[in-house]
Chain A
Amino acid sequence: MARPRPAALVWRVALHLFLATGALLMALPFIWMVLSSFKDISQVFVVPPTWWPSPAHPENLANAWNALPFARAYLNSAYITVTIVVMQLLTCAMAAYAFARIRFPFRGGLFVLFLATLMVPSQLTVIPLYLIMKWIGWLDTHWAIIVPAALFNAFGVFMLRQFIKGIPVALEEAAIVDGASRWTVFWHIVLPLLRAPLAALGIFSFLAQWNNFFGPLIFLSTPEKFTVPLLVAQFKGQYTTDFPLMMAAASIAVVPVLVVFVLGQRYIVEGIALTGVTR
């Protein structure tokens, strides 16, 4: 790097200023959210608004937690999301392997069909899906949310297929010559090589499923079964004017996710970029 000329230095300071302002704008609502969850209602209407709660009311958090079944909601969100992600990774990898490596009739047309569904907005299929779930009896159960997502992810299939195509065929052929079945080749050779895209897809999928609101909104009606986003919406509906309490609920919903994000952010952000740029 050449020694920084004064103009370049000014430029760099300006960039940092620009980015720091942006970063602050991104973070401020969260700071407001956490600080305000300690306020009481009287502090809401203060003009100009204060940032720091005085006096602080930490019991807001406990009240919010207990007002609605948050523990349950976290449990629901967690096991639903993990189940979906694990199943998705497995079924997508299997399908991707078939599309990339196995010759079977209609393979080409089927793959195009998969891609075509990427065009179909979920809102078009959700109403019939609701009626189907009603008919099966899965309304207000978690099955209605888990099964469709676990068994279908066209984007995942597409992305993994591209990656598998990049793996040298020789590796698999060697194993096939040795008498390995397709499944063994898939499980022991191909899958370990897919670690990076699988991680990216898994993270992407985890985020999407955890924050999914429309699906649970449509299929679930008992609060004990709600996922975290749905419960927060319920909170908003019940305590519409109790802003500090709502901030507490939002904090409960958001802060753990943020902590996980900060800890794993490198993988998450790189994963998103990975999924977005594989053409």
Chain B
Amino acid sequence: MRVKTPWTSSEGRASTVAPPTASPERAAEGGRPGPRASSAARRRLGEAAWGFAFVGPQLVGLVVFVLGPLVFAIALSLMTWDGFGTREFVGLENFAQQARDETFWVSLRNTAYFTALLLPSDLICSLLVALAVNNVRGKVLYRLFFFMPVVTSSVAVSVVWLWLLNGEFGPVNSYLRDWFGIEPPNWIVDPAWVIPAIALVSLWRGIGFTMVIFLAGLQGIPRTLVEAAEIDGAGALRTFWHVTLPMLSPTILFLTITSMIGSFQVFDLAYVMTNGGPGDASRTLVFHIYDLAFVDFEFGASAASAVVLFVILLVLTLAQLWAQRRWVYYEE
């Protein structure tokens, strides 16, 4: 098989390099030793060398910047260290100390509350919007508008919403008062409303992303199924419940897992908008981790909290993956 390629010399020299990798291995499998065997071994070595060369950079990244730090983090969680002085091995004391620490539990509670608020609203609102966008003309324009908040920096978003949600002169409250006649909460300043406020901003920011993924999922549903349902006399609602939703369930699973993981890691908004305040009302788990490390210089305790975060995410994800057998429908 002679293919004209840029690197073939013009005289068409005979190939002295190995044929595709399949054949030396087939020869080896045939159990025939001989001159082929050692060159096969050399070829395998050459292949292995290429393999590691290609994987090399990412491998270095993996080991040096992920695995190494991961092991280091777990080790750190078993020590106390302030980054300068002596390190001291303390076993599980950091974990015990965090368990006794009220701010740890507050952070965890705030994060769970935030996730409980954001996750369902994000999924439901985005699905509704995706369904609507999927059924009208002007998809591209709508997609553009809904996606704008997604591409914006979380810091700039925080700054703008600080004014929008201001209790006295912010437009949100002014309109709530004028149009609905209710006395709206003082969003950022009221400890009871600060997490819902951050969830609201996150929802505003994240709908576009979730919606786009849902749209892609919706567009992957074969039209034949929907049409079959229509022919069978199913109304829009029944079609949705019995055709669309099941076909969408892998996407829903994917989004539930990724959104949950993302929600648990909320930091930017809590840090820039309220700095964890008022008091500890918007202190999230990642904020707690950051605070312990870079404000209190308790790297051991910080690492311990981070390990807890990791375990929580692991458990939640595994639980989701285990539960998927119950409700996720995969087309065979």
Which A residues are closer than 8 A to B by beta carbons?
12, 15-16, 18-19, 22-23, 25-27, 29-30, 32-33, 36, 44-49, 90-92, 94-95, 97-99, 102-105, 107, 110, 113-114, 117, 119-132, 134, 147-148, 150-154, 157, 173-180, 182, 184, 186, 188, 207, 210-211, 213-214, 217-218, 228-230, 232-233, 235-236, 243, 246-247, 249-250, 253-254, 257-258, 261-262, 265-266, 268-269, 272-274, 276-277, 279
From B29-37, B54-62, B88-96, B99-107, the one touching the partner chain is B54-62
A258: B residues at CB distance < 8 A: 148, 151-152
Contact A131/B160 with A105-B48, A233-B272 known, Cβ cut-off 8 Å? no
Contact A47/B155 with A104-B48, A125-B69, A269-B147 known, Cβ cut-off 8 Å? no
The verdict on B231 contacting chain A, using a C-beta distance below 8 Å, is no
Which B residues are closer than 8 A to A by beta carbons?
1-3, 5-8, 13, 15-21, 44, 47-48, 50-52, 54-62, 64-70, 72-73, 76, 83, 128-129, 132-133, 135-136, 138, 140-164, 168-171, 174, 178, 204, 207-209, 212-213, 215-217, 220, 250-251, 254, 261, 264-265, 267-268, 271-272, 286, 289-290, 293-294, 299, 302-303, 306-307, 309-310, 313-314, 317
For the complex, what is the distance from the CA of A58 to the CA of B144, rounded to whole Å?
A: 28
Measured CB to CB, the closest approach of chain A to B238, in angstroms, equals 16
What are 9 A-B interface contacts by the 8 Å CB criterion? A19-B129, A44-B163, A121-B264, A121-B310, A127-B302, A188-B7, A211-B154, A228-B153, A257-B152
B158: A residues at CB distance < 8 A: 236
Q: Which of B69, B83, B147, B149 has the most CB of A within 10 A?
A: B69
Complex partner residue of B8 from A12, A22, A49, A178, CB under 8 angstroms:
A178
- Please name 6 further chain A to chain B contacts, defined as beta carbons within 8 Å, in addition to the given A29-B160, A121-B265, A123-B265, sorted by A numbering: A47-B169, A113-B67, A125-B65, A125-B70, A131-B83, A246-B162
Complex partner residue of B147 from A45, A129, A153, A265, CB under 8 angstroms:
A265
A122: B residues at CB distance < 8 A: 265
Contact A152/B204 with A177-B20, A254-B153, A273-B212 known, Cβ cut-off 8 Å? no
For the complex, what is the distance from the CA of A153 to the CA of B307, rounded to whole Å?
A: 21
Count of chain A to chain B residue pairs whose CB atoms are closer than 8 Å in the complex: 328
Measured CB to CB, the closest approach of chain B to A65, in angstroms, equals 15
For the complex, what is the distance from the CA of A105 to the CA of B45, rounded to whole Å?
A: 10
Q: Contact: A177 with B54, CB < 8 Å?
A: no
Q: Contact: B155 with A232, CB < 8 Å?
A: yes
Complex partner residue of A98 from B54, B141, B217, CB under 8 angstroms:
B54
**Across chains A and B, which 8 residue pairs bring their CB atoms closest together, nearest first?**
A104-B51, A151-B61, A152-B61, A98-B54, A23-B145, A128-B69, A128-B72, A273-B216
